[in-house]
Structure 1
Amino acid sequence: MGIEDVLYSIGEKTEETARRVLGSLRFLLFPSPSDTPPTPGPIERSIKRVLTPHELVSLRLQLGFLTYLLAGLAVVFVGSWRGYLLLTVVYFLYLRSFLIANRDFFIEYEPYRAFYLGLSVIAATAYGGYLLVRELKPKPLYFYLYLVIVSLVVFIFRYWFKSKYGRDYTYGVVEEVKNDLVRVFVHDDIAANVKPGYYWVPKVEDVKPGRVVKLLVENETLRSAKPVRIIEVYIGDQSSESETTPKDEME
């Protein structure tokens, strides 16, 4: 390879890198709703089933928040205010941009926006507060008191979220009817505290594969809720890769 080819290759890579950096900055500072559904990345492709757009954006929100929590712990351990502020600003810019860009791909947008923004604010405040308390060097009792206050705030937020957005039902798509049981696919539903997956529930009239159903859920202590029975059947076929929520009713 000649010197001209080497220089040309370096120029191409530099231009591509600059284009990606500018694209990332534009996404963070000037986000706009996307018309294109998200596509699975390496992590999502490792899951052995097809993920819907809703599941993809929900999973990425969880991974983004978890990354911030872990990175925040590392920064707090080091004790760097500059690192904490930089990390927090970048994370909130990302969170804002991600929510705006993908708002049309959530089955129900507002609960997810409120949940992750609320938890992120609590986490950011907790990290910053801990750095401040550590600088003041109070007695160990004050550190324990601070942890109690943070835990109390989390419980209050949880109560507020359940009061405003919580519900005891979710939606699913019938995948299989077997004897007196129905196998239903349910999306991740943060308002009903239901994890995505397949659930077996008792059979009802008018149910058949492809139909959307409304499911009663029951909460379990320290665990996610579980669909227990069908309370309504909607006429019209769908698949587990489509939205499971009847839009007219939600609106």
Structure 2
Amino acid sequence: MKLEEVLYKIGLFVESLTNKTARFLRGILFPSPQKNKSPLLSKFVVKKGFTVHEAISLNLQLSFILYIILNSIIILLKLSVFYLPLLFLLHMLFIRYILGAYSEYLINENNAYKVFYYGISALSFIAFLGYAVLRYRTANALYIYAYIILVVFAVLAFRQYFREKFGRDYTYGVVEEVKGDLIRVFVHDDIAANVKPGFYWLPRVEGVKLGDVVKVLVEPRAFRSSKPVRILEVLQSSHTSTEPKADAE
């Protein structure tokens, strides 16, 4: 093979790699709606009886858990503090990508998910970074304990702010089964109502039918997810094109 042909093929490879890298970075930095793609773990979640909406929430939860674990490892192993902002940047880019690319699959308030995960991630970054810097500059345990207490108050303040701005005592569900005086309702993951996704047996109300979309009252519980307790009203029939679960799937 001639040298010109070798150089030409190398040039084509470099050009292709550059274009793919540019598309990848553009997709991460400036995510656009992915109408024909689903987020990670979607097939697993749908097989369990849930929807893509729950897959998005699961991606965000697992990302945050992994972020906390990696931060903790950096702190425990006393690695360079510069790893913390790098890890924070990667984590925020992932959240931005998930919420930007798959926002159309979110059934409940998209803004609530943004505020919660951006807010709690930023608080975590400040907490870990401040702790690392403080531990490096002083050996006085009182300062460290005081800082930890301050972080706890900051988290509680953010929690109260989120509840006041987005919190509500109701969520939405779809009637999946009617059995005597009880109905089985599928409730989506709802961060504003603090409800876990799943199937709940609730008292039957007059006029409710299989497939109806219903508004469900939830009961707050300390340090636990809220519990659906009863149906407030029937909103619409699931036979229409606006039924949430059908849209998500």
The C-alpha deviation readout for 1:110-148, integer Å capped at 9, x for no partner, is 111111011000001111101110111241111111110
Name 1:81's counterpart in structure 2: 81
RMSD of the TM alignment (CA)? 2.6
Name 1:90's counterpart in structure 2: 90
Q: Distance in 2 between matches of 1:98 and 1:47?
A: 18
The C-alpha deviation readout for 1:142-172, integer Å capped at 9, x for no partner, is 1111110111000000000000000000000
TM-score (norm 2): 0.84
**Partner SS for 1:81:** coil
**Partner SS for 1:194:** coil
Q: Distance in 1 between matches of 2:44 and 2:15?
A: 29
Would the alpha carbon gap of residues 188 and 46 (structure 1) be closer, same or farther in structure 2, given more than 3 Å must change? Answer: closer
- Structure 1 stretches lacking a partner, 5+ long: 1-12, 245-251
Would the alpha carbon gap of residues 46 and 215 (structure 1) be closer, same or farther in structure 2, given more than 3 Å must change? Answer: closer
**Partner SS for 1:149:** helix
2:220 aligned with 1:216: no
2:179 aligned with 1:175: no
Name 2:4's counterpart in structure 1: none
Q: Distance in 1 between matches of 2:43 and 2:151?
A: 33
Contact 2:190 2:196 in 1 (8 A): yes
**Partner SS for 2:185:** strand
2:229 aligned with 1:228: yes
- 1:46 to partner: Cα distance: 7.0
Alignment: residue pair count: 234
Contact 2:203 2:231 in 1 (8 A): yes
Task: Please say which of residues 20-29 and 54-63 is displaced more in the overlay.
Answer: 20-29
**Partner SS for 1:237:** coil
- 1:15 to partner: Cα distance: 9.7
**Partner SS for 1:242:** helix
Name 2:196's counterpart in structure 1: 195
Contact 2:39 2:56 in 1 (8 A): no
Name 1:155's counterpart in structure 2: 156
State percent identity of aligned pairs: 43
Name 1:32's counterpart in structure 2: 32
Name 1:205's counterpart in structure 2: 206
Contact 1:37 1:53 in 2 (8 A): no
**Which runs of structure 1 show a deviation greater than 3 angstroms over 4 or more consecutive aligned residues?**
13-24, 238-241
**Partner SS for 1:184:** strand
TM-score (norm 1): 0.83
The C-alpha deviation readout for 1:2-23, integer Å capped at 9, x for no partner, is xxxxxxxxxxx99998776554
Name 1:45's counterpart in structure 2: 44
Contact 1:32 1:101 in 2 (8 A): yes
Contact 2:45 2:54 in 1 (8 A): no
Structure 2 counterpart of 1:83, one-letter code: Y
Task: Please say which of residues 186-195 and 64-73 is displaced more in the overlay.
Answer: 64-73
Name 1:64's counterpart in structure 2: 63
Q: Distance in 2 between matches of 1:47 and 1:140?
A: 48
Would the alpha carbon gap of residues 217 and 142 (structure 1) be closer, same or farther in structure 2, given more than 3 Å must change? Answer: same
The C-alpha deviation readout for 1:20-39, integer Å capped at 9, x for no partner, is 65544222222222223515
Structure 2 counterpart of 1:169, one-letter code: Y
Task: Please say which of residues 95-104 and 227-236 is displaced more in the overlay.
Answer: 95-104
